[in-house]
Amino acid sequence: MISLLFSILMGALIGYGTNALAVEMLFRPYAPKYIGKWKLPFTPGLIPKEQGRIADSLGELIEKELFAPEVVSKALDTPEAKASIGAWLDQLFATAAASEKTPRELLVEVFGEEEYIQKREDLSSLLCTYLVKKATQAKLGESFARQLSHRTDEKLPFLRSGSLEDVYVNTLGKLIDRELEKSLPEIVQQYVYREAGTFLGTPLSVTVKKYEGELPRLKDGLMGLIHAAIIGALPQLLSSGHIKNLVVSRIDSLAPRELNTMLKGLMKKELAAIEWLGALLGGILGAVTYFAGRLF
């Protein structure tokens, strides 16, 4: 019985020791070792030796799998992510409500006077173009002409004729739309500049208090915009390779000892399981060897 236990114990110790040594050889030594001019085999360890390739593979894996648009979109749709974004927006509103600075002052602090003016002009121009385009697509002239025909058909009953009404609406609508195309850009520009100037020159605390009842709806809208902005930016971000390059650069910058510590921390349980599996297999082989010796 003692011989059996001894065989199992020795097999377990050998199995554990060899696996523990193999695991350690993955990480060490950190640099090549030489005897004279002859480099010792298996030096440096496999992971320090392949650090560049590991960095490249991890970068590609993280970029393609973890930052795939469908993965990010699903992550952003979780209750935890929505709660986190919502809490950040609440904090943003609270900070704004306590601030006596105007948006203009804050933007000048961030961008500087000249860049702020340029960005304001660019944004105003973009907003004007967008509003004019939407107004044109809405065919306001036709809508106005049809409403007008409904109001005048009592005095001019002949306009109730379907074909005649369509000619009237189309003709008047086109005339109105043509005039709107000429005058609308200037009207919209004046409106945008006036409203933008008022908003940018008003302290944030005053604006937040004024629209306090609209904050929940604004919050929902901003959460949707943040989601759309992140998903919309991902294709360009991924095509540029920025995420992969960031991961590769970070891993390459680690000293072998730091990489060793990081990977061991990530795979602590798995590496320990490999070592103890070696002990289990070694113990089983020790028992098999004992019984084989007794049989033969």
Which of 82, 62, 85, 86 has the alpha carbon at shortest distance from 74?
82
- Please state, rounded to an integer, the average pLDDT across all residues of the chain: 80
pLDDT of 75 strictly over 50: yes
pLDDT at 168 over 60: no
Interval 227-282: pLDDT, tens: 888 888 777 777 777 788 888 888 888 888 888 888 888 888 888 888 899 889 98
Query: 50: pLDDT confidence band, cut at 50, 70 and 90?
Result: confident
**pLDDT at residue 233, rounded to an integer:** 79
Strands 34-35 and 38-39: antiparallel
Domain boundaries, the chain: 101-202
**pLDDT of 161 higher than 70:** no
Q: pTM of the prediction?
A: 0.54
Q: Alpha-carbon distance 87 to 192, whole Å? A: 31
At 158 the pLDDT is: 46
